[in-house]
Copies of this chain bind each other. A is one copy, B any other.
Amino acid sequence: MDNRARVPMLSGEPCDMSTWDAGNCPVRDVMNQIAGKWSTLILQALAEKPYRFGELRRLVPDISQRMLTQTLRDLQRDGYIGREVFPTKPPSVEYRMTELGYSLFEPLSKVLAWAENNHSSVKAARSKFDESELA
């Protein structure tokens, strides 16, 4: 059983981490954003359909307004979602996924699907680990 080097690395030079330069590694730069605690949840919601601020807040009950605001602004900054203000009685704000957001969500949803399908394996590994730690 040779476990070594089975996964083809990404095209060409993936990310030479040894000669690392701050803004030079796409993986870090992009991932550090979507790797946030709330980002995937919000992207997952907005991939379905546009939502308003309050709706998202109710959708993810345990996010604080502060973090929702910040997560949305960060996702907007990177171009994954758009923000539109409607001048209704109490002004409402709608967030919706952009083309770029959808193109990211396509591969990302595969990871989310993996998470669902393999959740039990992960939980099992976790239990086993914790058990052996206890000793």
Q: Which residues of A are at the interface with B, using a C-beta cutoff of 8 A?
A: 3-12, 14-15, 17-18, 20, 23, 26-32, 34-37, 39-41, 44-45, 47-50, 58-62, 76-79, 96-97, 100, 102-116, 118-119, 121-126, 128-130
- Separation in Å of the A59 CB from the closest CB of chain B? 4
Whether A30 contacts B118 in the complex (CB less than 8 A), given A44-B14, A113-B11, comes out as yes
Main secondary structure of the interface of A (DSSP, over half): helix
* Chain B residues with CB under 8 A of A96: 3-4
Determine if A5 and B111 form an interchain contact, defined as CB atoms under 8 angstroms apart. Answer: no
Q: List chain B residues, Cβ under 8 A from A104.
A: 111, 114, 118
Docked Cα-Cα span, A119 to B33, in Å, equals 12
